[in-house]
Amino acid sequence: MEKEAHLQPPPLTLLDRYHGEGFTPLYSTTVTVSGGEAAHGRASGVARSDDGNLVLDLRLPAALGGPGGGTNPEQLFAAGFAACFHGALSLIARRERIEVQGITVVVQVAFGRDPVDGGYALTAEICVRLPGVEKAVAEELVRNTERMCPYAKLAREGMHSVITVLV
């Protein structure tokens, strides 16, 4: 059996400013959702990543009238947001030579009705714990992380997306 490599944080060079003319992808992934038993991705779907590392049963949560028993888009978004924010915060603290142990980032995502258009919307609340860090220093670290984290940027500014229909 092959020994697993010791996990390391990414290099600080990821914090270097980019000065190119257009978006330059550094990583891309593809996840496909099929409809499952109810022919409805959110209610009974399966999400599979192109590399096979993600295979999840999707289920409508009980709060929305479903059976629960699987994950849902809001949980996946909250997990991605929290992981990205945590990673960016850790890198920024390391660059600033601020020793922080036990950082936690909790992201609560709510799915609900949107009074603007009568449809649906998401909201997110982020709670960051930086044990042992002076409050003013912690607040500056979080402000800098908000500017750098692409999930925070997405939540603040939206995201470029392209939808293609194949028949």
- Average pLDDT of the chain, as a whole number: 94
Which of 12-16, 102-106, 137-141, 142-146 has the lowest average pLDDT?
12-16
Give the pLDDT confidence score for residue 4 in this predicted structure: 73
pTM: predicted TM-score of the whole model, two decimal places: 0.90
Rounded to an integer, the average pLDDT of 90-110 is 96
CATH number, domain 72-159, options 3.30.300.20, 3.40.190.10, 3.40.50.10540, 3.40.50.10190: 3.30.300.20
12 Cβ contact partners less than 8 Å away, ≥ 6 residues apart: 91, 94, 95
Nearest alpha carbon to residue 86 among 135, 134, 151, 37: 151
Q: What angle do CA 47, 67, 108 make, to 5 degrees?
A: 65
Q: 2 versus 167: which is more confidently predicted?
A: 167
Give the pLDDT confidence score for residue 5 in this predicted structure: 81
Which residue is it, tokens 């609560």? 108
Give the pLDDT confidence score for residue 88 in this predicted structure: 97
Q: Where are the domains of the chain?
A: 12-71, 72-159
Residue 141, classified by CB atoms within 10 Å of its CB into exposed (0-12), middle (13-18) or buried (19+), is: buried
Rounded to an integer, the average pLDDT of 34-57 is 95
What digits encode the pLDDT tens for the residues 107-125?
A: 999 999 999 999 999 999 9
Q: Give dist(CA 125, CA 161) in Å, integer.
A: 23
The top-level CATH class assigned to 12-71 is mainly beta
- Alpha-carbon dihedral sign for residues 19, 23, 28, 31: positive
Q: Is the pLDDT confidence value at 24 over 90? A: yes
What digits encode the pLDDT tens for the residues 49-91?
A: 999 999 999 999 999 999 999 999 999 999 999 999 999 999 9
